[in-house]
Structure 1
Amino acid sequence: MFRRSWRHAAAATAALLALTSITACSDDPAESQDLSENRAGAMDGYAVGTQFKATEPVSFPILYNNHPNYPLKNDWLFWSELKSRTNVTLEPVAVPLSDYEQKRSLLIGAGDAPLLLPKTYPSQEEPYVSSGAILPVSDYLNLMPNLSDKIEKWNLGPEIDTRRQDDGKFYLLPGLHEKAWHDYSLAVRTDILEELNLEVPKTWDDLYLVLKAMKAAYPDVYPFSDRFSQPNPGGNLLNILAFSYGLQGAGWNFQHTSWNAQAQKFEYTGATEQYKQMLQYLNKLVSEKLLDPESFTQTDDKARQKLANSQSFVISANAQAVVNDYRPDLSRNPDAKIAKIPLPIGPAGEINPADRLENGLMISSKARDSKNFVAMMQFVDWLFYSDEGQEFAKWGVEGQTFVRDAAGKPTLAPDVDIIGLNPGAPKHLQKDFGFYNGVFAYGGKPELVQAFFSEEEQQFQEVMNARAPRVVPPPHPFTDEEREQVSLWATPLRDHVYQATLQFILGQRDFAQWDAYLAELKSKNMDSYMETVTKAYERFRDKNN
Structure 2
Amino acid sequence: MRELSRRQAIIGLGAFTLVLAGCGEDEAPKKAADVSANKAGAMASYGVNQQFKATEPVSFDVLYNNHPFYPLKNDWLFWQELTKRTNVTLKPVAVPLSDYEKKRGLVVGAGQAPLIIPKTYHPQEEAFVASGAILPVSDYMDLMPNFKDMVAKWRMEPELDTLRQSDGRFYLLPGIHEEIWVDYTLAIRTDILEKLNLEVPKTWDDLYTVLKAMKAEYPDLYPMTDRWGVPTPGGNLLKLVAQAYGTKGGWEYQHATWDSAAGKFAYTGAMPQYKQMIEYLRKLVDEKLLDPESFTQQDEQAKQKFNSGKSFVISTNAQSLINDYRETLTKTVEGAKIAKIPVPMGPVGDYKIAPRLENGVMISKKALENKNFVAMMQFIDWLFYSEQGEEFAKWGVEGTTFTKDASGNYKLAKDVDFVGLNPGVPKHLQKDFGFSNGVFAYGGTTKLLNSTFSEEELEFQKVMNARKPWPVEPPHPFNDEEREQASLWETPLKDFVTQNTLKFILGERDLSEWDAYVKELEGKNTSSYMNLVNTAYERFKKEHG
Q: TM-score, normalised by structure 1?
A: 0.94
Measured in 2, the distance between the counterparts of 1:27 and 1:103 equals: 34
Give 1:172's aligned residue.
Answer: 172
Structure 1 distance, partners of 2:29, 2:84, is 35
Structure 1 equivalent of residue 223 of structure 2: 223
Give 1:524 deviation, angstroms. 1.1
1:350 lines up with 2:350 in the alignment: yes
Q: Which runs of 4+ in 1 moved over 3 A?
A: 26-30
- Residue by residue over 1:302-340, the C-alpha shift from the partner in whole angstroms, topping out at 9 and shown as x without a partner, is 111111221100000101111111111212223100001
Kept in 2, the 8 Å contact 1:27–1:136? The answer is no
Where does residue 409 of structure 1 map in the other structure? 409
User: RMSD of the alignment, in Å?
Assistant: 1.1
Residue 411 of structure 1 aligns to a residue in which SS?
strand
1:326 lines up with 2:313 in the alignment: no
Describe the superposition over 1:202-253 as per-residue Cα deviations: whole angstroms up to 9, x where unpaired. 0000000100000000000100000111111101000111111111x31122
Pairwise mapping of residues 80-479 of structure 1 onto structure 2 (< 5 A)?
A: 80-247=80-247, 249-330=248-329, 331-479=331-479
CA distance in 2 between partners of 1:540 and 1:152 (Å): 22
Q: For 1:36, what is the secondary structure of its paired residue?
A: coil
Alignment of 1:30-109 (within 5 A): 30=32, 33-109=33-109
Q: How far apart are the structure 1 equivalents of 2:401 and 2:469?
A: 35
Cα distance in 1 for partners of 2:259, 2:304 equals: 40
Q: Which residue of 1 aligns with 2:16?
A: none
- The one-letter code matched in structure 1 to 2:265 is F
Other structure's SS at 2:163 match: coil
Matched residue SS, 1:436 = coil
Q: How does 1:529-544 map to 2 (within 5 A)?
A: 529-544=529-544
Q: Measure, in 1, the Cα distance between the counterparts of 2:158 and 2:308.
A: 47
Query: Partner letter of residue 534 of structure 2?
Result: T
Q: How far apart, CA to CA, are the structure 2 residues paired with 1:78 and 1:523?
A: 53
Identity %: 66
1:408 is displaced (CA, Å) by: 3.5
Question: 2:315 aligns to what SS in structure 1?
Answer: strand
For residues 118-150 of structure 1, what are the alpha-carbon distances to aligned partners after superposition, in whole Å with 9 as ceiling and x for unaligned? 000011000111111100000000000000000
Q: For the residues of structure 1 that align with 2:408 and 2:284, how far apart are their CA atoms?
A: 50
Whether the aligned pair in 2 keeps the contact of 1:163 and 1:475 (CA below 8 Å) is: no
Determine helix, strand or coil for the equivalent of 1:65.
strand
Q: Where do 5+ consecutive residues of structure 2 fail to align?
A: 1-27
The alignment partner of 1:98 has SS state of helix
Using the TM superposition, give the Cα deviation of residue 106 of structure 1 relative to its aligned residue in structure 2, in angstroms. Answer: 0.5
Provide the TM-score with structure 2 as the length reference: 0.94
1:496 to 2:496 alignment: yes
For 2:209, give the aligned amino acid: L
Q: Which amino acid aligns with 2:411?
A: T
What 5-or-longer segments of structure 1 have no aligned partner? 1-25
Structure 2 Cα separation of the partners of residues 359 and 29 of structure 1:
26
Partner of 2:528: 528
Q: Measured at CA, do residues 453 and 319 of structure 1 come closer, stay the same or move farther in structure 2, by a change above 3 Å?
A: same
Distance 1:512 1:408, change over 3 A: closer
Q: Cα distance, 1:28 vs. partner?
A: 4.5
- Alpha carbons 1:63, 1:116 under 8 Å: kept: yes
> Do the aligned residues in 1 keep the contact of 2:409 with 2:451 (CA within 8 Å)?
no
1:270 counterpart letter in structure 2: G
Rounded Cα–Cα distance in structure 2 between residues aligned with 1:28 and 1:139: 9
- Counterpart residue type for residue 299 of structure 2: D
Matches of 2:461 and 2:528 in 1, distance apart? 41
| Contact map agreement 1:135 1:365 (CA 8 A) in 2 | yes
